[in-house]
Structure 1
């Protein structure tokens, strides 16, 4: 009887250990996936912060224009701006529609 109890105890420990190992492996895979997603999101956040920092004010844009482009940039009227559509075989241009969001 004592031998049977010892064998059943060892067998149950092996089964429990196997179950715990499989559960831990699944959790580890989920953690790895989440860490990868967080890393990608952090990179995207850094890029957006950088873009915001450098393009957030008109004064900065004007200083960059003077610093890098000198007289290469010209002022355009908003009505002269068009959207170019390359989805079809022909190149189509559409006027930009300005929507006042304050209304």
Structure 2
């Protein structure tokens, strides 16, 4: 009788160990997947923050204009803007129509 009891106990321990091991492996895979996604999102966040920090400041934009373009950029009004269409017959320019101004 004790042999059956010990055999049953050993069998239940082996089965419970394999179940625990499988569930632990699944949890490890989920944790790894979440960590990889988190690293990817952190990289995208850092890139976006860097872009925002350097391009959102008007002082920085003026500094970049002076540094890279010197006097190549000139101010235009909306009436100076045109629509450029390239067709098979050539290039056509149209006036820019601004909606909402009445």
TM (normalized to structure 2)? 0.74
SS at match of 2:75: coil
Runs of 4+ in 1 over 2 A off after TM superposition: 71-82, 95-99
Between the two proteins, the alignment pairs up a number of residues equal to 89
Q: 1:44 to 1:73 in 2, by over 3 A?
A: same
Tell me how far 1:52 sits from its aligned partner: 1.1
List alignment gaps of at least 5 residues for structure 1.
85-94
List alignment gaps of at least 5 residues for structure 2.
86-95
Partners of 2:63 and 2:77 in 1: how far apart?
A: 21
Partners of 1:96 and 1:6 in 2: how far apart?
A: 89
Largest Rg, 1 or 2? 2
TM (normalized to structure 1)? 0.73
Corresponding residue number in structure 2 for 1:61: 61
Q: RMSD across aligned C-alpha pairs, in angstroms?
A: 2.6
Corresponding residue number in structure 1 for 2:72: 72
